[in-house]
Structures are given as structure tokens and as C-alpha cells.
Amino acid sequence: MSPISPDKVISTILKHDATVTSYKIALLRAINDVVLTYPDLRTYQSDVAVPLKLLAEFWVAYHWPLIGIYGTIQ
């Protein structure tokens, strides 16, 4: 079984998971902040590499406060 590429995992989460899940909201905030961190990377008709380490750091930072010790939303 081949590994799934990170862009496919992220797009699957955004497309198919429930809209109100806390991790999805945290992911959207994280993507937004990565984009705002590097506003000059966009070029016309070309892909942009997303720094996954930074995305993961933002994602955890936004999602961590939403869950308690036992993994429940507070």
C-alpha cells in the first residue's frame, strides 16, 4: 500500500469531514495563517508548496486548547 500524499490528506479532511468538527476549524485557521505568513509566494498559474511543518504547528496550536485532557471539547 503506497503512502497518501499530504495534499490528498488535507483536501480529504476539508471535503469530507463534518463542517463543525474542531480539528477542521483549526485546520482552516492554520491554512489561513500560513497563507498570511507568506503572502508573496503566489505566482500566476503555478503551484505553491505549503510548509507542512508550519501548517502542523499552527494546527496543533489552534486545536490543542479546544480539547481537554481526555480528548473532549471543553
What's this model's pTM, rounded to 2 decimal places? 0.63
- Which tens digits make up the pLDDT trace of 18-56? 766 777 888 888 888 888 887 776 667 777 777 888 888
Higher pLDDT among residues 29 and 10, named by residue: 29
SS (H, E, C) the chain: CCCCCHHHHHHHHHHHCCCCCHHHHHHHHHHHHHHHHCHHHCCCCCCCCCCHHHHHHHHHHHHHHHECCCCCEC
